[in-house]
């Protein structure tokens, strides 16, 4: 994988003349910028802020947005734009909007000055906008509530720039140089706490930059089918890692449209699946999806590698590596039948998987922290024989669900709660192979999910599951003292898995589930409910 591969896989083509390119300097909100722009029906994608100029030119953007980031432009080692960036921008009349770090970088690059602020601005702030600016147009809201997150501030503007908004603390909040098509916001218009943020982005992109808001998800479908046809030779075969989850089901259906019977799907039973999942998934694939799928039993292979491993990142890397081994072995088997080894692997990787994982080159996340290595991205081994096809790599879950509807993927698949590839391994804290942990967790999880379904709540919850804790607590059951395991239940609401809130069940529901679990699952005498949002927690416990 590398820059070239990523660019092949993006959902944009050169003829998308309305492209908004977000250059990422490591802000936790960068993904939200692209997301908000797409919500405005404008196509946007993101690459690393320090990508070479050739990568930017290849994408031919009409607008470039420079994201925020944790660094300070006045300190050594702060990430910067590639050489020749500003010449390229001016020569091609590209509009540039800097957000937070992006604004500060623009100011510093063009001859202004940025310094540590005397009083920093974090969280909800009020700004006052000046009438008559291009950036805000005829906006009626002179005072706006915005979300700030900065410790540096602009103390001197480059030539040709004007201040067009200030915070109530008198710090620069927005600047512009319309003659050069340069604009900057010190706050984050992309977060919902900036009450007029979407309006400002829409006005900037449509009215100031003249972009037509006509991008549709349908475009992704056609573009991806063309891209895949271009990548895969007429005689080439492709395998698809199919989990039965939303993402790989949509990815497989899309690739099947492009290359038909040269696609071979493989479902891996890694021993980390939920109660009766293998049987259920294989049955629905056959009856509803009509895609040929081979099931590989790799239970022993995975569990023996995971024995005694307790570190979450180690578990993820082992699982990522083992998946690839299985796929390589599957290719060898196919080679015997086809006379030819498959060259490509389709995965249902989504944008959030990329954002949170160890950043691969060109992913646009070179300046952020690794939160956890999703098995299908950061958990992949460095040397891979198969080339990746990831048609959903730049999409969020809700966009994938919509794409699935366009592709007529049965509703049952699209409505499923996400289930991570490392499965129960990241829901059993500590050693996965510890006596009965997997079996216990399967039973607890099944009771919880069935209760949610029976209560008619499944579709209002984004994801729900149980966690096995390596903690024993004292209980009293049938007048006897017990010293058994505690389990945790988690249910969340979310739009895209990037941020989440815990789901507020009625106490009666929780009481009933808790009783059912303790009464029917041996070895469990305590149930706790997770009431943490993301952030500060993540969805999974590991």
Ligand X SMILES: O=c1[nH]c(=O)c2[nH+]cn([C@@H]3O[C@H](COP(=O)(O)O)[C@@H](O)[C@H]3O)c2[nH]1
Ligand Y SMILES: Nc1ncnc2c1ncn2[C@@H]1O[C@H](COP(=O)(O)OP(=O)(O)OP(=O)(O)O)[C@@H](O)[C@H]1O
Please indicate if the annotation marks 349 as binding a ligand: no
Q: Which residue, 20 or 100, has its beta carbon nearer to ligand GLN?
A: 100
Q: Which residue, 347 or 482, has its beta carbon nearer to Mg ion?
A: 347
Beta bridge partners of 185: 99, 174
Q: What are the Cα distances from residue 373, in Å, to 432, 479, 482?
A: 18, 45, 37
316 interacts with ligand X by CB under 6 A: yes
317 interacts with ligand GLN by CB under 6 A: no
367 interacts with ligand GLN by CB under 6 A: no
Tokens of 68: 């925020």
Q: How far apart are CA 477 and CA 458, in angstroms?
A: 31
Q: Which residue, 176 or 353, has its beta carbon nearer to ligand X?
A: 353
The one catalytic residue among 153, 176, 190, 322: 190
Residue 185: partners with Cβ closer than 8 Å, 6 or more residues away:
97, 98, 99, 100, 103, 135, 173, 174, 200
Q: Taking the complex as a whole, how short is the minimal distance between the CB of residue 73 and ligand GLN, in angstroms? A: 7
Alpha helix (H) residue ranges in 82-138: 85-91, 101-109
Q: Taking the complex as a whole, how short is the minimal distance between the CB of residue 387 and ligand X, in angstroms? A: 20
Tokens of 287: 């009856």
| Among 38-46, 148-156, 165-173, 332-340, the segment contacting ligand GLN (CB under 6 A) | 148-156
Q: Of these, 360, 362, 364, 420, which contacts ligand X (CB under 6 A)?
A: 420
Contact 432, 424 (CB under 8 A): yes
Please indicate if the annotation marks 248 as binding a ligand: yes
| Parallel, antiparallel or unpaired: strands 182-185 and 95-99 | parallel
DSSP three-state, residue 302: helix
Q: Which residue, 278 or 316, has its beta carbon nearer to ligand X?
A: 316
Please indicate if the annotation marks 247 as binding a ligand: yes
71 interacts with ligand GLN by CB under 6 A: yes
Residue 372 interacts with, from ligand X, ligand GLN, ligand Y, none (CB under 5-8 Å by kind):
ligand X
Q: Of these, 36, 71, 203, 374, which contacts ligand X (CB under 6 A)?
A: 374
Residues in touch with ligand Y (CB under 6 A): 241-243, 245-248, 267-268, 270, 347-348, 353, 376, 416, 418-421
Q: Taking the complex as a whole, how short is the minimal distance between the CB of residue 186 and ligand GLN, in angstroms? A: 8
312 interacts with ligand X by CB under 6 A: no
Alpha helix (H) residue ranges in 62-100: 85-91
Residue 99: partners with Cβ closer than 8 Å, 6 or more residues away:
27, 33, 65, 66, 67, 68, 184, 185, 188, 189, 190
Place of tokens 């990568």: 55
Q: How far apart are CA 408 and CA 442, in angstroms?
A: 31
Q: Taking the complex as a whole, how short is the minimal distance between the CB of residue 190 and ligand Y, in angstroms? A: 24
Q: Which residue, 62 or 317, has its beta carbon nearer to ligand X?
A: 317
356 interacts with ligand GLN by CB under 6 A: no
The one catalytic residue among 12, 150, 188, 264: 188
Active-site annotation holds for 100: yes
The one catalytic residue among 100, 209, 331, 358: 100
Q: How far apart are CA 368 and CA 354, in angstroms?
A: 11
| Among 143-151, 196-204, 231-239, 362-370, the segment contacting ligand GLN (CB under 6 A) | 143-151
Q: Taking the complex as a whole, how short is the minimal distance between the CB of residue 228 and Mg ion, in angstroms? A: 22
Q: What angle do CA 25, 317, 345 make, to 5 degrees?
A: 85
Question: Which 345-364 residues touch ligand X, going by CB under 6 A?
Answer: 356
Active-site annotation holds for 188: yes
Please provide the DSSP assignment of 488-531 as one string.
Answer: EEEEEEESSSSSEEE----HHHHHHHHHHHHHHSTTEEEEEE--
Q: Taking the complex as a whole, how short is the minimal distance between the CB of residue 375 and ligand Y, in angstroms? A: 7
Cα four-point dihedral sign 79, 82, 83, 86: negative
Tokens of 50: 């320090």
Contact 172, 185 (CB under 8 A): no
Please indicate if the annotation marks 362 as binding a ligand: no
Q: Which residue, 27 or 243, has its beta carbon nearer to ligand Y?
A: 243
- Known catalytic residues? 100, 188, 190
Using CB under 6 A as the criterion, which residues of the chain lie in contact with ligand X when the complex forms? 316, 356, 372, 374-376, 418, 420-422, 463, 497, 534, 538-540
- Binding positions for ATP are 243-249
């Amino acid at each position: 994988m590398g820059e070239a591969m990523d660019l092949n896989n993006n959902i944009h083509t050169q003829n998308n003349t309305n492209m908004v390119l977000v250059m990422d300097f490591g802000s936790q909100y960068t993904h939200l910028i692209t997301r908000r722009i797409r919500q405005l029906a404008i196509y946007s994608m993101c690459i690393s802020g320090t990508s070479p100029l050739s990568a930017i030119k290849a994408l031919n953007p009409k607008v470039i947005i420079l994201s925020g980031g944790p660094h300070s432009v006045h300190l050594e080692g702060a990430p910067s734009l590639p050489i020749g960036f500003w010449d390229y921008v001016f020569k091609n009349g590209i509009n540039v909007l800097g957000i937070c770090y992006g604004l500060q970088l623009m100011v510093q690059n063009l001859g202004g000055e940025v310094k540590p602020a005397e009083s920093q601005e974090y969280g909800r702030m009020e700004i006052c906008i000046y009438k008559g600016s291009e950036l805000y147009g005829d906006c009626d809201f002179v005072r706006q509530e915005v979300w700030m997150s900065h410790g540096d501030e602009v103390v001197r503007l480059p030539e040709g720039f004007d201040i067009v908004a200030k915070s109530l603390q008198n710090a620069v909040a927005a600047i512009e140089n319309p003659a050069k098509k340069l604009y900057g916001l010190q706050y984050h218009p992309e977060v919902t706490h900036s009450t007029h943020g979407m309006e400002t982005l829409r006005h900037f992109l449509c009215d100031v930059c003249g972009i037509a808001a006509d991008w549709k998800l349908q475009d992704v479908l056609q573009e991806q089918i063309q891209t895949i046809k271009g990548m895969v030779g007429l005689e080439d075969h492709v395998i698809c890692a199919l989990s039965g989850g939303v993402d790989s089901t949509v990815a497989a259906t899309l690739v099947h449209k492009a290359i038909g019977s040269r696609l071979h799907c493989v479902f891996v039973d890694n021993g980390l699946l939920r109660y009766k999942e293998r049987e259920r998934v294989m049955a629905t694939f056959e009856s509803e999806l009509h895609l040929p799928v081979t099931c590989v039993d790799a239970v022993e292979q995975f569990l023996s590698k995971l024995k005694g491993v307790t570190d979450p990142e180690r578990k993820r890397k082992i699982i990522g590596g083992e998946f690839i081994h299985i796929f390589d072995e599957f290719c060898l088997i196919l080679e015997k039948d086809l006379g030819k080894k498959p060259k490509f692997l389709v995965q249902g990787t989504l944008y959030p998987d990329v954002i949170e994982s160890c950043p691969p080159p060109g992913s646009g996340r070179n300046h952020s922290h690794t939160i956890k290595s999703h098995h299908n991205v950061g958990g992949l081994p460095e040397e891979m024989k198969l080339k990746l096809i990831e048609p959903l790599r730049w999409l969020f879950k809700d966009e994938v669900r919509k794409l699935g509807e366009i592709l007529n993927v049965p509703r049952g698949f699209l409505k499923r709660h996400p289930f991570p590839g490392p499965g129960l391994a990241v829901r059993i804290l500590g050693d996965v192979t510890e006596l009965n942990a997997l079996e216990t967790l399967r039973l607890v999880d099944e009771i919880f999910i069935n209760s949610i379904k029976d209560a008619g709540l499944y579709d209002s919850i984004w994801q729900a599951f149980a966690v096995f804790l390596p903690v024993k607590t004292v209980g009293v059951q049938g007048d006897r003292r017990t010293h058994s395991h505690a389990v945790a239940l988690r249910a969340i609401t979310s739009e895209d898995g990037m941020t989440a809130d815990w789901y507020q069940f009625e106490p009666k529901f929780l009481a009933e589930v808790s009783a059912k679990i303790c009464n029917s699952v041996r070895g469990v005498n305590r149930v706790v409910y997770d009431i943490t949002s993301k952030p500060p927690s993540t969805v999974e416990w590991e």
